[in-house]
A and B are shown apart, each in its own frame.
Chain A
Amino acid sequence: MTAIRVENVYKVFGRRPQEAVRKLRAGATRDEVKSLGTAAVIDTSFEVADGEIFVVMGLSGSGKSTLIRMLNGLWRPTSGRVLLGDDDLATVSASRLRALRRTTVSMVFQHFALLPHRTVLDNAAYPLEIQGVGKEERRERARAALELTGLGGWEDSLPGQLSGGMRQRVGLARALTADTDILLMDEAFSALDPLIRREMQEQLVEIQQKLGKTIVFITHDLNEAMYLGDRIAVMRSGRIVQIGTAEEILTAPADDYVAQFVADVDRTRVLTASSVMLRPGVVLPAAAGPRRAARAMREAQAAAAFVVDRDRVLLGFVRDSDVVDAARAGIPRLDGLVQTDVATVDEDTPLSEIFAPSAESLVPVAVTDDHGRLLGVVPRVTLLEAMVPPEIDLPDDTPADGPVETVVGAGATTVNGNGVPDGYEPLPPDDGVPGLAPDELPAARTAASAAEVAAAAEFDATTEGGTR
């Protein structure tokens, strides 16, 4: 079910909005119609599914607030349709619109929009007052919402006595008291300090999971967008330039604008193990003999190998030296050699939580599923590389991802992806030189720390490209 459907919506403020829309449809830019009005939202279409957190992200002035105000009919589109469930907001009666706003869609305002002459409690209870809920009940429910947003004990204060962050939480509590299926949140956490902000983000996700709310969340904070959004729409100058999951936007930005926008995101919070993991270099069945293991590791030029059982459940790893010794001693099976102190994470672990185990582990961090089966590995190199955004304007002759791993494994490979002979160490790029292939940036960084990660790097020297 779609909760909200937006079809080719335009909103132009100004004297001749219809004319501006006609020009925009014919391909005019926002600046070209400036004389006719401000085109705040241009040809926007999307759907929000039931129970989804849909984030709209964009710089200030890109039309986010205008867009969200059309989702509950506060503003009418100049052209196009907005549907809430089956109700077309352009054609519903005034009383039906009021009913929708009472039962279906509520809103948290960017600048809080509290009633300054009412206490925090009465502000939070206001939606219920409008719905005609009795005084005792509405105060009780408002109190619960205030408790949830961490404002217990402030019920009798006036908004003017609270800090900006607290006022914002009153606005949030008010929307929660309304208990509608859809929550529209316009930069709802922008006034909070970082710790509380993080807490509220987590709480929102929790509320959403518990109550199955549909949330349209507006933000100009990319990290927030990435953390909250099931899907993210990136807005620029009134248009949506890309809609996708956080990972899609991070790894495949639709254009330079999006790429620049995501360049400074804390990628480690967004990307998960599954999005960066590589195929493990050598995986040995527990039943294999040391001789076979030694051969496989020599061929792969790996210093260690993971060992799995018949169902591919990870048992641990073996070192090349142990294997060679065992082969010499004629030991028939690997079992006794397996070291079990492997750091494992699951697919959805954010990269930020992989750093610590990775630092302590001799071998790459293993990614396993719920049954303990080995899915892939995250070498330290990959972690470091993932922190650097994909560069814009790749020169044609630079292969995409391949050479990074190859260069890292330079000690083992004869020729890297660029055809550079063995032993060549790329110079650290000078940021100011435009001619330098940007793709070498991660390579150079990892090369600098090559000694530190050598063991891990060798391990997957043959896994060019991995599973990315």
Chain B
Amino acid sequence: MNDTLVPRLPLGDVVADIVDVVTKSGKDVFAAVKTGFLAAYEPLEILFTTPPAWTIILVIAALAWWVKGWRLGVGSAAGLVLVAAVDQWDNAMATLALVVLASVVAIILAVPLGIWAARSDRVSAVVRPVLDLMQTMPAFVYLIPTVVVFLTGVVPGLVATIIFALAPGVRFTELGIRQVDPEVVEAGHAFGATEGRILRQIQLPLALPTIMAGVNQVIMLSLSMVVIAGLTGAPGLGRDVVAALTRVNVSLGVEAGLSVVILAMILDRVTAALADRAPVARALARS
């Protein structure tokens, strides 16, 4: 490939230079971000790992029972017991803490951005290709600049996860708001409601089932990325998966992998059930 028709474009170098400059000039900012994330993550990890496993199992099972039914409650409990039995409990809880934190931050960023994109075609036109890029870029690639900026540990994994998981949150929020029956929104206008009231009382409640589907996706993407983030030294199941890979340790790989699957299933079912409990979804289900 030495005699290609086009000259070699040093795109990678350019981006690397930019990252370099950004890293140097934003040193203080990144330091602050790092401290912030650590301050948020550490108590969360302690919250999940210090109590005895059975209390956490009971709380999660009760939550699953409440949002969906006893089957999900019992299933969740059984799954978590299995996680504890293969000695992955602490890892699973660290992963859970990462997923919760990353998802919350991603949702806090994504929902307002989605609302904004829904209300302005111009914003939507800018946001959409950026989201496409973010979703199609291989997940590992996010890790590189975050490692450059934040070095190793929890924070680069968290930041990469948040960026990676942001897209469906924005997309589903925009979609949900845009597909609210325009006549219902018009009714709000026709009776003299302010934009804020229409957003709060009409658009968001009616878009909620769709937004919740987005939240579900955000959480699932977070989980998958948090595991990948094990590569950069993020704690949790990901680290054992990576270790199993590098050492070709089948038994460790199976145990850590299975724990990821169990966690994923519980998170998925619980958030999906939560979406069904939205007032609109219930109203529509009753009719």
B286 at the A/B interface (Cβ < 8 Å)? yes
A130-B197, A158-B286, A158-B287 as given contacts; A117 in contact with B280, CB under 8 Å:
yes
B42 at the A/B interface (Cβ < 8 Å)? no
Give CA–CA (A112, B193) in the complex, Å: 17
Give CA–CA (A131, B194) in the complex, Å: 11
Nearest chain A CB to B214's CB is how many angstroms away?
Answer: 19
A111 at the A/B interface (Cβ < 8 Å)? yes
What residue of chain B has the Cβ atom nearest to residue A104's Cβ? B192
What residue of chain A has the Cβ atom nearest to residue B183's Cβ? A113
A114 in contact with B184 (CB, 8 Å): yes
Give CA–CA (A3, B22) in the complex, Å: 63
Give CA–CA (A399, B279) in the complex, Å: 69
Chain A residues near B5 (CB-CB < 8 A): none
What residue of chain B has the Cβ atom nearest to residue A184's Cβ? B190
Most buried by B among A72, A130, A131, A161: A130
B283 in contact with A72 (CB, 8 Å): no
Q: Pick the contact of A160 from B193, B202, B286 — CB < 8 Å?
A: B286
Task: Please report which residues of chain A, range 75-116, place their CB below 8 angstroms from some CB of chain B when the two chains form the complex.
Answer: 98-102, 106-107, 109-116
A109 in contact with B187 (CB, 8 Å): yes
Chain A residues near B192 (CB-CB < 8 A): 98-102, 127, 130-131
A109-B186, A113-B184 as given contacts; A161 in contact with B191, CB under 8 Å:
no
Chain B residues near A178 (CB-CB < 8 A): 191
Give CA–CA (A109, B280) in the complex, Å: 21
Q: Pick the contact of A72 from B188, B190, B279 — CB < 8 Å?
A: B190
A306 at the A/B interface (Cβ < 8 Å)? no
B205 in contact with A117 (CB, 8 Å): yes
Chain B residues near A100 (CB-CB < 8 A): 192
A109-B186, A161-B286 as given contacts; A98 in contact with B194, CB under 8 Å:
yes
Chain B residues near A159 (CB-CB < 8 A): 287
Give CA–CA (A107, B184) in the complex, Å: 12
Nearest chain B CB to A135's CB is how many angstroms away?
Answer: 14
A207 at the A/B interface (Cβ < 8 Å)? no
A126 at the A/B interface (Cβ < 8 Å)? yes
Give CA–CA (A113, B191) in the complex, Å: 12
Chain B residues proximal to chain A, CB less than 8 Å: 181, 183-184, 186-194, 197, 201-202, 205-206, 279-280, 283-284, 286-287
B189 in contact with A161 (CB, 8 Å): no
Chain A residues near B202 (CB-CB < 8 A): 115
Give CA–CA (A159, B184) in the complex, Å: 13
A74 at the A/B interface (Cβ < 8 Å)? yes
A130 in contact with B184 (CB, 8 Å): no
B184 in contact with A115 (CB, 8 Å): yes
Give CA–CA (A318, B283) in the complex, Å: 72
B184 in contact with A127 (CB, 8 Å): no
Number of A-B contacts (CB under 8 A): 74
B206 in contact with A102 (CB, 8 Å): no
Chain B residues near A117 (CB-CB < 8 A): 205-206, 279-280, 283
Chain A residues near B280 (CB-CB < 8 A): 116-117
Give CA–CA (A166, B205) in the complex, Å: 23
A111-B183, A158-B286 as given contacts; A116 in contact with B190, CB under 8 Å:
no
**How many A residues have CB within 8 A of the partner chain?**
29
Give CA–CA (A126, B202) in the complex, Å: 11
Given A102-B192, A115-B184, A158-B287: 13 more A-B contacts, CB < 8 Å: A74-B190, A98-B193, A100-B192, A107-B187, A110-B183, A114-B184, A115-B205, A116-B284, A126-B191, A130-B188, A130-B192, A130-B197, A131-B192
Give CA–CA (A130, B188) in the complex, Å: 9
Give CA–CA (A173, B121) in the complex, Å: 35
What residue of chain A has the Cβ atom nearest to residue B193's Cβ? A130
Nearest chain A CB to B122's CB is how many angstroms away?
Answer: 16
What residue of chain A has the Cβ atom nearest to residue B280's Cβ? A117
Nearest chain A CB to B285's CB is how many angstroms away?
Answer: 9
A111-B183, A113-B184 as given contacts; A160 in contact with B284, CB under 8 Å:
yes
Task: Please report which residues of chain A, range 100-159, place their CB below 8 angstroms from some CB of chain B when the two chains form the complex.
Answer: 100-102, 106-107, 109-117, 126-127, 130-131, 158-159
Give CA–CA (A126, B280) in the complex, Å: 17
Nearest chain B CB to A24's CB is how many angstroms away?
Answer: 26
Nearest chain B CB to A166's CB is how many angstroms away?
Answer: 12
Q: List 8 A-B contacts (CB under 8 A).
A: A110-B183, A113-B186, A114-B184, A115-B201, A115-B205, A117-B280, A130-B197, A160-B283
Give CA–CA (A100, B192) in the complex, Å: 8
B190 in contact with A106 (CB, 8 Å): yes
Give CA–CA (A174, B188) in the complex, Å: 12
A161 in contact with B287 (CB, 8 Å): yes
Chain B residues near A160 (CB-CB < 8 A): 283-284, 286-287
B187 in contact with A158 (CB, 8 Å): no
B181 in contact with A113 (CB, 8 Å): yes
Give CA–CA (A399, B286) in the complex, Å: 66
Give CA–CA (A116, B283) in the complex, Å: 7
Task: Please report which residues of chain A, range 438-466, place their CB below 8 angstroms from some CB of chain B when the two chains form the complex.
Answer: none
Give CA–CA (A326, B287) in the complex, Å: 78
Chain B residues near A109 (CB-CB < 8 A): 183, 186-187, 190
